[in-house]
A and B are shown apart, each in its own frame.
Chain A
Amino acid sequence: MESATTTLEPLFAFLAHSLTTVESTFNKLPGSAVILRYVRSSHQNDPGRTLLELILVIFAIRTLLQSRTRADRNGKHFIQFSDKEVDELVDEWTPEPLGQPLTAQEQADLGAVPIVAGPNGPKPKLVSSGKTALNLASFNFTGLAGNEDIKQKAVDTLRKYGLGSCGPPGFYGTLDVHMDLERDIADFLGTEASILYSQGFSTISSVIPAFCKRGDIIVADRGVNFAIQKGIQISRSTVRWFDHNDLKSLDEVLEGVEKERKKRRGPLTRRFIITEGIFEKDGAMVDLPKLIELKYKHKYRLILDESFSFGAVGRTGRGLTELYNVPASKVDMLLGSVAIGLCSAGGFCAGSQIVVDHQRINGPSFVFSASMPALLAVSASEGINILRSTPSILTALQENVRAARAILDRVDCITIPSHPASPVIHIHVRSPSSPAASSLHPATASVMSPKHHHSNPSSILPRDASKWNWDIEGEERMLQDVVEECLAQGVMVTRAKRLRGQEMVEARPSLRLALTSALTKKETEKAVGVVKAALVKVISRRR
């Protein structure tokens, strides 16, 4: 006993020494006396509390030390394996191939994609045949593609700015020509400001997540295009759907959302209506004045995708706002495609200064991608100048649209869901079993069903989705035959290509014509006549 004490003596001395050192250092710290007094008095009042606080501190340390990775190693579904078992499992595992080999049908489709030799335009030369064709497939509404002035401007810009901008807008990628184009677009439309994205497709799928966050409410059309679907998906907002291009249904859904909020007594969150000017899927056109009325009535913000209407309708191609004579400033976020509307590249979002500035920091594809090449921005600015100064271009385009519709509307075996003024014309094969009702992909207006029967707003599928009986493959084959028949006759048209299996809701197969002012009325009539003949020939052969 005695010896144990003597051997431990240095240890005790050391402990005592370190204790006094710790104590004196602690006393030296400013404010330590306060803490000490606090601990002492609290312990005196309630010893249990000291214990509780000690446990809390330990818990806090434990939480901090826990791994930040999301590994669910400790989750209840984790199974412990020995190393040998792990090795066996690894050996056993056979992954699916990264991509399935293409089916014969897919290969044929890919092989049938027309390749243009040389410049694309109203009459391109095709690699497959070596002949020129009348082009009703490419987007060149106002005939800006191949414009010599634009080309000259582009070359001048190339010499002054080089090709690429070599950086994102935040880091020396903002060129003066980008700012000029942004100003040109804002002036052209009549908004406070606009922001330029370097790819058309990425514009809307970037704008939506910049504003719509988790907990916000999006009310969207059932027929919105793929890019919008992706934007909605990544935003993680609560989505409600209204029937395709049916503003009555929109009104009902908006009322439903408000009722729901009042019932839950939820907080006021951001609310958006998302729809398209001219729909990519079928060429239908939204009734903008009515839409704006609803937006104000229910206090929603409007995100309007004008990718297929900017540079296509209106007196000078300003899009739906010009066509309906609505100030563009009433649309909160007005998106358009510079690639389609101005035959350059990229897209834009126009709106108030606050809306635009917000995107400069929060728009993923704006912040994280290189800005567009200078020569494309200058070309687009020049395109706007041309549209502004020559309204005859749009008049000629509308003439062509009317001429085309005059021919197509008289064909029995097809239905056309597109608006009569839309330069994009979609053509469905009329199915003999269910005539008009299913001609339009997501449910047509409620006029169709006499009984007032609502679709479920939480689902993108409309109420009559179960009754859809399109033979997608068959119709696509039929339309592809039409495409090839047209090509043989010297007219280039295309099916509207879809990513089957990736869209939220399958669109009905359609043949898509894109008219252009670069073809004369005579040429347009001739080309559309060929399409009509091909449609009649192929469809009657199939039946």
Chain B
Amino acid sequence: MPMSSPLPSPMALNKPQSPSMFKKRSTQSLAPTSAASYLSALSQADARARNGNPTSSPTSTPALSLSSSVTSSSEDTVLNEFELDNVDGLSLPMHPPTSEQVFTTVHSEFGHCANEEYRLTSQHTPGALVTGHVDQDPPYYILLSTYISYLILIVLGHIRDFIGKRLKSGAYKHLMPRDGYAPLNSDFDSFYTRRLKTRMDECFSQPVTGVAGRTILLLDRISPDYNHTQIFTGTRTRALNISSYNYLGFAQGRGGCADAVEESIKRYGISSCGSRLEGGSSDLHTASEALVARFVGMEDALISSMGFATNSTIIPALVGKGCLVISDELNHASIRFGVRISGAVVRMFKHNDMKSLENLLKEVISQGQPKTHRPWKKILIIVEGLYSMEGTLVNLPAIIELKKKYKSTLRLTVGDAYNHPGPAPSSSLPLWLSLPPSLLSGTEGDTRIRRLAFNSRYLHNGLIKLGFITYGHPASPIVPILLFNPGKMNMFHRMMKDRQTPIVVVVVAYPATPLVTSRVRFCVSAAHTKDDIDCVLRACDDIGDVLDLKHGIPKGERWTIEDVVSRAADVANL
């Protein structure tokens, strides 16, 4: 590990000889590893990251401080199994690096982008009003054709069921009562799955392999029988990945984080062999909980082994009978699951609507519990930081005002918002063990955050300028485009995948969204380069014309794709 970095790591300050924390612990006596020692080192690193303005660091890319260079093919990624013909433009950067630019990442996992113009810091000015998102309505013919599409799908489905049950009863056996067993799946409950979702199954559950980084390898499949079975062809396609939750681009097979994980596997194994209270607690748990708490600025933190379980099992510990949960109407399924098993009463308010929340708070506090009118024991407001289907950020300043005013407790779920662009000093990283200095000091994290912020705003504003209807906050890395008609989802997905540079996208429809607002959801990452976002914008522009998707700003105000691409920095700063 090179120690000649301009920003020495805190570990290096404490004990210059020790190459890693593990070593350090094994050489010292096994004193209780207190969180305090981690934290003091951490705050030093934070302070350093804050003082040293990263934009004026001696090198244009922070990765420069490392001597080794990794070209686009490396010995132990899936990449080298293929010849690098670069027909899809994904394996090699569009602008070859100059001799001064050295990148430590694999381009297909974390894109090479040295241009400082394509960085952005997004920050909320304290006291400024948070502007809510204004929904744009599509023309009426779109709405009408959407409803008609669903109507046709439903009618056709019922006709097929009706005829099929009489003529081809063998195919419906699993939906009929048989030998005294009720069907596992009633035909009413599964109607949507059988008759609507099956039609577009090629968009879902696509198996992949390799790192879910900037690009991803698809295992190609075909369906000979209208999606009832899928057959793997044995070939693989590399596609630009704008679908995975990889905000800061740490999904990498190499680099500091992966190295730290490797070391921890070698030393700790992969299993804790039990629940935390029954002999499964490790010193690593203590350390990373302290770290998470420090990062988010809280007293303490609890780590759960699964995202879904965090909500579904911790909410019942906080509220129970006689308590009220006030939940945003678009909260994630895990929150609903948790609230339902907690036994608390639930009331919902309109998505991100502070007025509606305030009225509801007034009502529930003054009315008390239903029937008895006793005061509520506790009122818990549950919101998400970033909504995974909408891309909206919660209006935190306003909601904290309300919380104070009405004395409720606020629980913010940041599952999706974690690592979202913000100016926080980011020296804290998931496994803070033996990270290279650029990671430990926070410079790399900072670059990644600024790349993410640029990419998010560029894509979001670019799509708006091209005439699409989008949802959500421009700074959010989740960018949905509304498609409306169900038939367009399949087409959009296929057209994106069949381009010369294949792009994989997530399309979502009812029941994950309201019936009419089917959408495609992009999930931007710091791993994307400006060229990648250009590529997505160009693809959307082409397909948007074919599928008639541009119903946003009026024609006169729209920009051409060339304008958007050439003035990217302006677009991002809009």
Given A120-B282, A166-B246: A161 and B210 within 8 A (CB)? yes
CA distance A359 to B49 in the complex (A): 47
Chain A residue contacts of B340, Cβ below 8 A? 234
The answer to whether A120 touches B33 (Cβ under 8 A) is: no
Contact between B268 and A199, CB atoms less than 8 A apart: no
Known contacts A93-B375, A138-B279, A159-B77; is-contact A233 B341 (Cβ 8 Å): yes
| Docked-complex contact A162 and B184, CB < 8 angstroms | no
Query: Contact at A368–B308, with CB atoms within 8 Å?
Result: yes
For residue B212, CB closer than 8 A to chain A, the reply is: yes
The smallest beta-carbon distance between A299 and chain B, in angstroms, is: 4
Q: Decide yes or no whether B409 CB sits under 8 A from chain A.
A: yes
Interface status of B32 (Cβ within 8 A of chain A): yes
Q: Are B365 and A90 in contact (CB under 8 A)?
A: yes
Nearest-neighbour CB distance to chain B for A176, whole angstroms, equals 5
Residue on A nearest B360 in the bound complex, by CB = A71
Question: Does B490 reach chain A (CB closer than 8 Å)?
Answer: no
Question: Is B307 in contact with chain A by the CB < 8 A criterion?
Answer: yes
Question: Interface size for chain B: under 10, 10 to 19, 20 to 34, or 35 or more residues?
Answer: 35 or more
- Give the contacting residue for B318; candidates A98, A114, A177; CB below 8 A: A98
Q: Is A115 an interface residue (CB 8 A)?
A: yes
One digit per residue, 1 when the CB lies within 8 angstroms of any chain A CB and 0 when it does not, for chain B 260-272 equals 0110011111111
With CB as the reference atom, state the residue of chain A lying closest to B380. Answer: A98
**Cα distance A299–B181 in the bound complex, in angstroms:** 6
**Does A179 touch B at the CB level, under 8 Å?**
yes
Of the candidates B262, B308, B504, the one whose C-beta lies within 8 Å of that of A364 is: B308
> For residue B210, which residues in chain A have a CB less than 8 angstroms away from its CB?
160-161
Q: In the complex, which range does the number of interface residues on chain A fall in?
A: 35 or more
Query: Taking each of B174, B265, B282, which has the highest tally of chain A beta carbons within 10 Å of its own beta carbon?
Result: B265
CB nearest neighbor in B for A144: B271
Contact of A158 among B78, B250, B253, B361 (CB under 8 A): B253
Encode A139-168 as 1/0 by CB contact (under 8 A) with B: 110001111001100110011111111110
**Contacts between the two chains (Cβ within 8 Å), count:** 295
Verify if B180 is at the interface (C-beta below 8 Å from A): yes
Q: Does A325 contact B (CB under 8 A)?
A: no
Known A-B contacts A79-B373, A115-B286, A175-B208; the reply to A137 vs B274 at CB < 8 A is yes
In the A-B complex, the 4 residue pairs with the smallest Cβ-Cβ separation, listed nearest first, are A137-B279, A369-B308, A199-B306, A138-B273
A-B contact pairs, 10 of them (CB 8 A): A115-B286, A120-B274, A127-B33, A147-B269, A150-B269, A154-B270, A164-B212, A167-B244, A172-B244, A365-B306
Known: A147-B269, A166-B246, A170-B204. 15 other contacts (CB 8 A): A77-B373, A86-B366, A95-B407, A119-B269, A127-B32, A145-B269, A160-B210, A162-B251, A163-B261, A166-B251, A171-B243, A361-B193, A361-B197, A369-B307, A369-B334
> What residues make up the interface of A, taking CB atoms closer than 8 Å to B?
69-73, 75, 77-79, 81, 85-86, 89-90, 93-96, 98-99, 113-121, 125, 127-128, 130, 135, 137-140, 144-147, 150-151, 154-155, 158-167, 169-177, 179, 198-199, 201-202, 205, 211, 213, 216, 230, 233-234, 268-271, 299, 301, 339, 343-345, 354-355, 358, 360-361, 364-365, 367-370, 375-376, 379, 492, 494, 496-497, 502, 512, 514
Q: Which residues of B contact A (CB under 8 A)?
A: 25, 29-33, 76-78, 109, 174, 177, 179-185, 189, 193, 197, 204-213, 216, 219, 241, 243-246, 250-254, 257-258, 261-262, 265-283, 285-286, 305-309, 312-313, 316-318, 332-334, 337, 340-341, 347-348, 361-363, 365-367, 370-371, 373, 375-380, 405-409, 504, 506
